[in-house]
Amino acid sequence: MIVVGGGIGGLGAAFSLTRQGLAVRLLESAPAFGEVGAGIQLAPNCTRILDDYGLLDEARSLGVVPDAMVMRDAVDGDELTRIDLRDLEKRYGYPYLVIHRSDLHGLLLRACERAGVELVNDAQVTSYENTADGARVTLASGGTHEAGIVIAADGLHSVARRLFVDDRPVSSAYVAYRGTVPAEQPRVRSVDLSEVVVYVGPRCHFVHYGLRGGELLNQVAVFESPKALAGQEDWGTPDELDAAFAQTCDFVRDGLPYMWRDKWWRMFDRAPIMNWVHGRIALLGDAAHPPLQYIAQGAIMAIEDGWVLGEHVARNRTADGAVDWSAALAAYEAVRPEHCRRVLTTSRRWGELWHLDGLAREQRNALLRARDTYDYSFTDWLYGPTALTPDQEPEMFTPIPLSSVAIGEEVLTGDAA
């Protein structure tokens, strides 16, 4: 079988399917395998899968298992709420881990090499089509590859997605700047590297946490671009970065000089789609469900996709050991699109919540301060075991309306705990 795309989702799927005894060829458009970016957060629904793959210990050795996740107000710096990540690990059975994106990518790449995945570079796929007994991909070079099944993990700008829907990436008008700071810098000495911290502010937020066993501080600064809102082509520029955070607290502003200023990431997602299988071609990862990153589930969803597909391959074998691909793909499509739809829509709403101003900001802050540290009602739907069938998908949380908060009376109406 063929997997298209050598990112985290493609490598995870290739490894998962090779574990099931399948011969997998992975096609990557770049001349070498690699991943750009900085830190990535892996919640228990992902570390559970890494443990099943036998990769969790290696991931722990490369990353950091923090003690707490803390949310602060970006304007005044005050703490709003926190999650005890050690208690969270006890609840879900697996740790919350932060790791450099390139380290996670390298871990999966090495796992694929050990498992015998055939890795092919300089293979840019320009079209997909079903054949009488499988599927075929055509490369920019004119060459073709055929297999019984093709898994398209070709990212936000997926070519395969065109088989399913005529849509385009949706700009959020937000942009992310990233940067890592060596631990010996004074900036890092003032930070508790055992915490994942997000400062939420009007139309901006700022995140930091430790990486590589505390050798690095990872920082992310995200803001809404006025140039993007005005329809300008050149948006998200460094001058906008500085202006966006001008009214934030000293700690946040002091972190801006450490951001990489020659590269920034414009933030796009796509509307959810519920059909991921077309004949013998199936979407996976960002090709199917590119999210905004506010609940840190993008790479995790892709890893979950590959694991679920592998589990359904194992469950749908005929008497002679062959895979009943119609049944396996149908089972995959029955469970993953709805889960990912929930993540995509929640990510959008969470981003809106982070970036409130005025009265709405005060109401949000009051709600967050009222939350009990050990209240998991907003994470149980996400961090528990990955569902293999629709009936295993947990109930969603019940949103608490901001209007339930009476500012100035120190009264919370409704269940805000």
Among the listed residues 384, 392, 396, 383, the one whose alpha carbon sits nearest the alpha carbon of residue 312: 392
Among the listed residues 90, 19, 81, the one whose alpha carbon sits nearest the alpha carbon of residue 50: 19
Q: Rounded to whole angstroms, what are the CA distances from 297 to 35, 48, 82?
A: 17, 14, 19
Among the listed residues 108, 97, 98, the one whose alpha carbon sits nearest the alpha carbon of residue 35: 108
- 3-class SS at 111? helix
DSSP-assigned beta bridge partners for residue 220 = 178, 207
Among the listed residues 175, 291, 324, 302, the one whose alpha carbon sits nearest the alpha carbon of residue 244: 175
Is residue 209 part of the annotated active site? The answer reads yes
From 209, 294, 332, 383, active-site residue: 209
- The rounded distance, in Å, linking the Cα atoms of 341 and 339 is 5
Among the listed residues 6, 99, 95, the one whose alpha carbon sits nearest the alpha carbon of residue 46: 95
What is the DSSP code string of 139-190? ETTS-EEEES-EEE---TT-SGGGGT----PEEEEEEEEEEEEETTSHHHHT
- The rounded distance, in Å, linking the Cα atoms of 5 and 184 is 37
Residues involved in catalysis:
209
